[in-house]
Amino acid sequence: MPGLSLAGFTEREIAEVLGWEEEAVEKIVRHYVSRTAAVADQVRKLDAAGAAA
């Protein structure tokens, strides 16, 4: 499941795919996805959106 987060799926999308509550997904992502990986994913999203300077 953390792989879905790192692949760019939102917590809501992950919850829908797995049939879980969004809050449960949020807790799991916070626990298993390291802060560094989460920040790297945010930078990747910004780069893809052309918003990074």
Report pLDDT for 31. Answer: 82
Say which residue the tokens 């626990």 belong to.
31
Torsion angle in degrees (nearest 10) through CA of 11, 6, 3, 37: -110
pLDDT, tens digit, 9 for 90 and up, residues 1-52 = 667 876 889 999 999 999 999 999 999 888 887 777 878 888 999 999 986 5
Report pLDDT for 53. Answer: 55
Burial class for 25, CB neighbours closer than 10 Å (0-12, 13-18, 19+): buried
Report pLDDT for 52. Answer: 52
Report pLDDT for 17. Answer: 94
Domain boundaries, the chain: 2-49
- Pair 4, 17: CB distance under 8 Å: yes
